[in-house]
Structure 1
Amino acid sequence: MRNLAIALVVTSLGFASVSQAQPIRQTSSDWRDAFRQMEDEDWPTPNDARRATGAPGPGYWQQQVDYVIDARLDENSHVITGSATVAYTNNAPDTLDFLWFHLDQNRFRPDSIAVMTETIGGGERATSRLGRISTDGIAARAFNRRRLVRENGYGQNITAVTGADGEALDFTIIDTLMRVDLETPLETGDNVTFTIDWNHRLLETLWAGGRGGVECFDDYEHSGGDCIFQVAQWYPRAAAFTDFEGWHNKAFLSRGEFTLEFGDYEVSLTVPQDFIVAATGEIANADEVLTDAQLARLDEARTADEPVFIVTPEEAQANERRGTRSERTWRFTAENVRDFAWAGSRKFIWDAVGVEQDGEGMAPDLVLAMSFYPFESEPLWSNFSTRAVEHTIDVYNEFAFPYPYPTAQSVAGPQGGMEYPMITFNGGTFGRPRIDDDGNITYSRGARDGLIGVIIHEIGHIYFPMVVNSDERQWTWMDEGLNSFLEDIAKLRWEEDFGGRNRSDVQWITGYMTSRNQQPIMTQSDSVRSIGANAYSKPSVALFILRETIMGHELFDEAFRTYSRRWRFKRPTPYDFFRTMEEVSGMDLDWFWRGWFYSTDHVDISIDNVTEGTFNTQDPEIENARERALDEERGESRTQAHNIAEGIRFYSDDNPEVVDFYSTRDRHTVTNRERETYERFRDGLEDYEREILDSGDRIYYIELSNQGGLVMPVILEFTFANGETELVRIPAEVWRYNPANITWSYITDRQVVSVELDPLYETADADRTDNHYPPRIEPTRLELYRSGQGSSSNMMSDLDRRVTRDSIEARDE
């Protein structure tokens, strides 16, 4: 049987014409394998602890470190004095001669690596939070911060390290790390108990920075200068000892956060007698520190439909005015947590509500969502904080696992956003309304949305990394990126038009991805110049693209949930995440990890050319008519057109004897010979070949180039002459033979009039001016600026929708 090659007639028809240039023979190649497997070189070899599937292996282990802490806060000096009895269990297959601890407050010593290596510009983290620093000037806030660090004696002072027998143990402090030398080697399966005594002064957070500290309210007449104390990174914390790194020995330089061990805590906190304390865990002596009314309200809150005041606004204000010289000890217990933080103030209003969940036998069936905040944060905090905690638990449970702890707390104060087990700090500039001279209160949309957003984000961090215990200092994206992704999922479920721009909005990451300032996502956090874009936004966008465009909801959600559940209360690496997502979904995503996480390439695919091909039917009735139409479309020569327009008489007009057979028939007239030839041609065709010729199908050749270097799926929307459209999704593997240039064909029985690339803005394509064929005029908007033009961002104030302090106080009457 012969195989007939059917000819194509390639035409422009509003598209580009076919290039006649011949390819240049090359003797070298710049080709790259964008689909090379990551396991070949980049990922560690699977072993007994970590399997090739991304799951923990039968030999997985991690250390256990338990604490009994007794600490006292001196309200006037802002000094914490504490003693921690540490029980360290060695589950590693290694004998340990010494143990390492973090002393993170040493980051604020004037001779610390962090302070000594601050640089002007991008290396100075204070430039964005505390004022501009450059070679020609320094903001007063930034200068004051440096003065405070130099003069105020910050840092942890270790006063003693003693063994269980009371004998002193040798210890060595190196910047933010302390090595404790053991009296005898600690064998596998053994444990050792010893005590560390220390003290340190809390930071004035609004001036000196930091993730905890003090905010005092000297400017508020009714407060009497009371303070909120948020206490974090406050005790010597055991450094991680892992199967993939050994001892974690990276100093704390302010940006890279913390990697710690799980353990059980018993903590006693002695504070002024009228303080309300929020902390990791549950109150162990509630009947000693709470009134009968507060205990009853707390019990009521567990089954209430909406938040219940445990300490009312009226009670909090009365508490402020009294003050005290007495002290009281609050006791807390927490099981299987990797850290402990707390906050205390006589200013705290406290509300709570129970959140029901299916604990699946591994988590409580009821979680107490709680918020602690000063009167200055009203009415925003009582309206939104605890409800945001509740909403976060509902959404994260769906995508990860049931919330594993009995409490989830949101605390207002100086720290603008930081997470710890069961407690989060969400204050700073978030959720403080404006108060005018008449005592009227308004707040902006940004204040409301910012408060809800930061609470969702920080409560979300209790899942990642407080439970899924990734190494934040080495791979910041593993908690910030994954959590930003779920934060935006939760914000999108808060209300239909909530929050405006999210970190995960695909079109907003393109500026960073095309900048010279970017670095690979896998860069260590203290070396990243733009931490927000690199560790939060870009990985979050990558996950949204994976879920919405590449994997789909069903495959992505199952894989992500599997990763979360595999690694809760364990310590995953990026490779465990990558492998789990591939193994569970059944998709090879090495090309995606390489492009998004290991490179600084960006997405920019260009439609360079589109050519239409139609089949030559060889039917003279069809083909000759087509040729005639093309001649008519091309038109006459300009000279002949002018001859006709000017009424010039042709020679044949005056001499009709020259008019013959051909004068009345054009060159496209069908002849009998052509008809006979066509009949013989048809008779020789196979049935399927006749079907092809009779189908009326067209083939469109779309020439694409990868301008940004990052291979991605190609999404094309075809618009047809009849106004209909079709969306075609081409997998990223289309680039596997040539990641720079491809030609892809599309068959349809409809005439295409235009093609658009990435019409739904799904892939973070950085340059959309080459996403249309034929090219279109790109719209833009021009602003006519006037000097001094501006508008208020507080719509509530503009529209005279105010809240009075009296109305806030009346709510609890």
Structure 2
Amino acid sequence: MLFAASVNAQKHQTTAADTVTSNYYAPDLFKPLFHQQKGNEFHSANGNPGPKYWQNRADYILKAKIDTTNKTLSATEIITYTNNSPEDLGYLWLQLDQNTYKSDARSNYFTGLGATQHTNGYQLASVQVSQNGKIDKVNYTVTDTRLQIRLNKDLAANGGKINILITYKYTIPGSFGNRTDYTDTKNGKIYEIAQWYPRMCVYDDSQGWDTLPFLGSGEFYCEYGDFDYEVTVPGNMIVAGSGELVNSAEVLTPAQISRLNAARNSDKTVMIRTVAEVTDPKSRPAKAELTWHFKMQNTRDVAFGASAAYVWDAAKVNLPNNKTSLAMSVYPVESAGTDKWDRATEYLKKSIEYFSQKWFVYPYPVAINEAGIAGGMEYPGIVFDGITDSGKDLFWITAHEIGHNWFPMIVGSDERRFGWMDEGFNTFIDIYASDVVNHGEFAPKRDGEYAPGGGYPADEIVPIISDPDAPVIMTNADAVPEKYRHPIVYFKPALGLVLLREQILGKDRFDYAFKNYIQKWAYKHPQPEDFFRSMENGAGEDLAWFWRGWYLNNYKLDIALIEAKYIDKNAKKGLQITIANKEQMAMPLTIEVTFKNGGQSRMQLPVETWLQNRTTTISIPTTKEVSEIKLDPDHALPDINRANNVIKVK
């Protein structure tokens, strides 16, 4: 009798929830201790730089010359390197990115394909150091794209300085250069010059010396400093470089100087050198050679374009607090046209104005859009975009590349390890630029280049997170196969920030936390942990489940409607629905009710709905008959099976 009573007590009415098959296990998604280390005096627990945060510094003086006959760049370089770390340094590491074009470079092998065209990389004529006014030759060794200088005397901690003096040359790669190259146009070659000087590796409190080789996919991680550089070219060429031209009287005509001054006060684009003037010798000073002198403060890199073929225009950029900058474009006559590069400066100007108003004020006096074959590459104050770009594509690529001045040029993350902190963040801010600029003329940009088709972005990521071979966001940048590079490095992290902003935190809390992150880490070196902590603290939300599911894993989401019925079979008493989480990801959820007599109603479920439950039954307080229940009606969530998101109510 006792046994029978016990069994009878355990009996319950079988429900639809009892038959649900689910892979979801809440303790794995919501487990504690996501942050494996405590905050410290260098990187605070709240995501800010700590009270003893330090960062080394590299200032550069560069004097370069382009030999357009032999296609070589030769230069002298003086680096003033400041060791602000708490440790003496017995050796220094520099990046030699041009060595990636050598026939025996590691970059020839990491994809398994190998390059077919090569250069000899850097030809180092001399490497010296100067400490306390004394110049010494030093032992150095070159390993692929890295140069190690072995000091005779340690560089002192906490502010010790050393000058590094290097004389070098290299052959400029042609069209195979990818990010730096030269190409023909009908009025002369265009040179796009980047990664053109030996530059200091970052020494930080996370990795020590960051010496990952340059393989071509992962990009850059650089120290900040001031740049003073000169470029000597044939007199008929124009040089468009990062920073501010400081000797315009020597390299420009009086008419060009006057037009530039007018552009600084004009919201409309002003022609500095017209299409007709490109072939007019009077549009250049009558000298065999000219040296262009630029300066740029508090930046991590500089690059430039050079050509006799450039058309040139400019306009004023309006920044917050009555500040201004100057947007300029240089391009060959082939790129000119009403819906082509004639609008390039407008696109550049309006993108900068939007990003400055929304996130952080553009800090540099000039921004340049340069047309070449690099086809979309970014450097502080200058971007290389495609000669053939036009229309929406030209706006999108311009906004994207200049947006990199915020990530990673201002917020100086490590692109070579964490490409998503560069491309993902920047793709995210692009989305809203397209929505806003010219009242949405170029909207939407929620798929396009960074997703595999049209439609809803959240739906477009489903094939990626459902692919068992797809890497996760936190994969080393160079280890992401090309097939997955855009979805994993650009699109998924950008969509993740959209989900945070529009579904999880809300726009106000997200924007406050994200802007705080930008301001605190401007011109510094944040790690992923700093970003995660900064967003959690600024928004007041434990987001460990989101970082774990979206960044560290490709957890899938499948929210399913299991049952919908009236309470006591009476529509006036409300509706009872059962929902299941069938995969390992969880998200907040919108439920939409459509009434038989017309109209709709929505309710929101927080992510805590899934803190303990695989299935949940909720009551919807309605007194009218319902025709349909739908989950995630806006397709905002990356639900892998939308077929189970709708139920017709009988």
**Which TM-score applies when normalising by structure 2?**
0.91
The counterpart of 1:765, out of the listed 629, 639, 644, is 639
Counterparts of 1:319 and 1:705, CA distance in 2 = 71
Is 1:366 matched up with 2:240? no
Counterparts of 1:33 and 1:22, CA distance in 2 = 21
The equivalences for 1:714-733 within 5 A come to 714-733=589-608
Q: 1:474 offset after TM fit, Å?
A: 0.8
Q: Which amino acid aligns with 1:172?
A: T
Q: 1:112 offset after TM fit, Å?
A: 1.1
Secondary structure, counterpart of 2:195 in structure 1: coil
Q: 1:390 offset after TM fit, Å?
A: 1.1
**In the TM superposition, what whole-angstrom CA distance separates every residue of 1:403-460 from its partner, at most 9, and x where no partner exists?**
11111111001111111111111125x42xxxxxxxxxxxxxxx31111111100111
- Could you say which residue in structure 2 is the equivalent of 1:199? 169
Is 1:98 matched up with 2:118? no
Secondary structure, counterpart of 1:32 in structure 2: helix
Secondary structure, counterpart of 1:599 in structure 2: coil
Q: Which amino acid aligns with 2:429?
A: L
Q: Which amino acid aligns with 2:155?
A: L
The equivalences for 1:692-703 within 5 A come to 696-703=572-579
- Could you say which residue in structure 2 is the equivalent of 1:395? 354
Secondary structure, counterpart of 2:44 in structure 1: coil
Is 1:487 matched up with 2:441? no
Counterparts of 2:491 and 2:579, CA distance in 1 = 31
Would you say the 8 A contact 2:435–2:444 is kept in 1? Answer: no
- Could you say which residue in structure 2 is the equivalent of 1:157? 123
Would you say the 8 A contact 1:611–1:702 is kept in 2? Answer: no
- Could you say which residue in structure 2 is the equivalent of 1:234? 196
- Could you say which residue in structure 2 is the equivalent of 1:76? 69
Q: 1:321 offset after TM fit, Å?
A: 11
Would you say the 8 A contact 1:401–1:561 is kept in 2? Answer: yes
**In the TM superposition, what whole-angstrom CA distance separates every residue of 1:20-40 from its partner, at most 9, and x where no partner exists?**
69969xxxx966331223xx2
Q: Which amino acid aligns with 2:426?
A: N
Would you say the 8 A contact 1:263–1:336 is kept in 2? Answer: yes
The aligned length equals 620
The counterpart of 1:560, out of the listed 514, 527, 540, is 514
**In the TM superposition, what whole-angstrom CA distance separates every residue of 1:25-83 from its partner, at most 9, and x where no partner exists?**
xxxx966331223xx25443210011111111110110110011111100111100011
- Could you say which residue in structure 1 is the equivalent of 2:402? 459
Is 1:175 matched up with 2:144? yes
Cα distance change on mapping 1:488 and 1:500 into 2, 3 Å? closer
Would you say the 8 A contact 1:107–1:113 is kept in 2? Answer: yes
**In the TM superposition, what whole-angstrom CA distance separates every residue of 1:342-397 from its partner, at most 9, and x where no partner exists?**
110011111111112225xxxx8110111111101011444321111111112111
Is 1:110 matched up with 2:103? yes
- Could you say which residue in structure 2 is the equivalent of 1:789? none
Cα distance change on mapping 1:595 and 1:319 into 2, 3 Å? farther
- Could you say which residue in structure 2 is the equivalent of 1:412? 371
Q: Which amino acid aligns with 1:212?
A: T
Q: 1:148 offset after TM fit, Å?
A: 1.9
**In the TM superposition, what whole-angstrom CA distance separates every residue of 1:281-339 from its partner, at most 9, and x where no partner exists?**
11111111111111111111111130111111111132599999821111111110100
Would you say the 8 A contact 1:319–1:346 is kept in 2? Answer: no
Would you say the 8 A contact 1:48–1:60 is kept in 2? Answer: yes
The counterpart of 2:446, out of the listed 466, 484, 502, is 502
Secondary structure, counterpart of 1:367 in structure 2: strand
Counterparts of 2:485 and 2:307, CA distance in 1 = 32
The counterpart of 2:381, out of the listed 408, 422, 438, is 422
Secondary structure, counterpart of 1:59 in structure 2: coil
Secondary structure, counterpart of 1:340 in structure 2: coil
Cα distance change on mapping 1:545 and 1:365 into 2, 3 Å? same
- Could you say which residue in structure 1 is the equivalent of 2:302? 340
Would you say the 8 A contact 1:255–1:526 is kept in 2? Answer: yes
Cα distance change on mapping 1:147 and 1:478 into 2, 3 Å? closer
Counterparts of 1:22 and 1:759, CA distance in 2 = 22
Counterparts of 2:479 and 2:168, CA distance in 1 = 31
Would you say the 8 A contact 1:319–1:347 is kept in 2? Answer: no
Q: 1:255 offset after TM fit, Å?
A: 0.4
Q: Relative to structure 2, which stretch is displaced further, 158-167 or 405-414?
A: 158-167
The counterpart of 1:375, out of the listed 317, 323, 333, is 333
Would you say the 8 A contact 1:602–1:766 is kept in 2? Answer: yes
Q: 1:499 offset after TM fit, Å?
A: 4.9
- Could you say which residue in structure 1 is the equivalent of 2:6? none
Instruction: Flag as ranges the 4+ runs of structure 1 deviating above 4 A.
Output: 20-24, 319-325
Is 1:534 matched up with 2:410? no
Q: Which amino acid aligns with 1:279?
A: G
Counterparts of 2:649 and 2:585, CA distance in 1 = 23
Q: 1:697 offset after TM fit, Å?
A: 2.3
- Could you say which residue in structure 1 is the equivalent of 2:30? 35
Secondary structure, counterpart of 2:533 in structure 1: helix
Counterparts of 2:14 and 2:593, CA distance in 1 = 23
Cα distance change on mapping 1:506 and 1:384 into 2, 3 Å? farther
Q: Relative to structure 2, which stretch is displaced further, 476-485 or 747-756?
A: 747-756
**In the TM superposition, what whole-angstrom CA distance separates every residue of 1:466-491 from its partner, at most 9, and x where no partner exists?**
11100001111111111001111101
Q: 1:212 offset after TM fit, Å?
A: 1.0
- Could you say which residue in structure 2 is the equivalent of 1:50? 43
The equivalences for 1:742-753 within 5 A come to 742-753=616-627
- Could you say which residue in structure 1 is the equivalent of 2:419? 476
Query: Which protein is bigger by CA-based radius of gyration?
Result: 1
Secondary structure, counterpart of 1:493 in structure 2: helix
Is 1:250 matched up with 2:250? no
Would you say the 8 A contact 1:607–1:705 is kept in 2? Answer: no
Q: 1:118 offset after TM fit, Å?
A: 3.2
Secondary structure, counterpart of 1:614 in structure 2: helix
The equivalences for 1:617-696 within 5 A come to 696=572
Unaligned runs of 5+ in 1: 1-17, 125-145, 432-446, 616-625, 627-694, 777-813
Secondary structure, counterpart of 2:317 in structure 1: strand
- Coordinate RMSD, CA, aligned: 2.5
The equivalences for 1:700-711 within 5 A come to 700-707=576-583, 709-711=584-586
Cα distance change on mapping 1:383 and 1:325 into 2, 3 Å? closer
Secondary structure, counterpart of 1:76 in structure 2: coil
Unaligned runs of 5+ in 2: 1-12, 451-456
Counterparts of 1:315 and 1:461, CA distance in 2 = 32
Is 1:520 matched up with 2:472? yes
Cα distance change on mapping 1:724 and 1:422 into 2, 3 Å? same
Would you say the 8 A contact 1:317–1:375 is kept in 2? Answer: no
Q: Relative to structure 2, which stretch is displaced further, 602-611 or 590-599?
A: 602-611
Would you say the 8 A contact 2:90–2:155 is kept in 1? Answer: yes
Cα distance change on mapping 1:770 and 1:52 into 2, 3 Å? same
Counterparts of 2:190 and 2:16, CA distance in 1 = 75
Is 1:594 matched up with 2:548? yes
Q: Which amino acid aligns with 1:772?
A: V
Secondary structure, counterpart of 1:107 in structure 2: helix
**In the TM superposition, what whole-angstrom CA distance separates every residue of 1:77-108 from its partner, at most 9, and x where no partner exists?**
11000110110000011110111110111111
Cα distance change on mapping 1:319 and 1:730 into 2, 3 Å? farther
Identity of aligned residues (%): 34
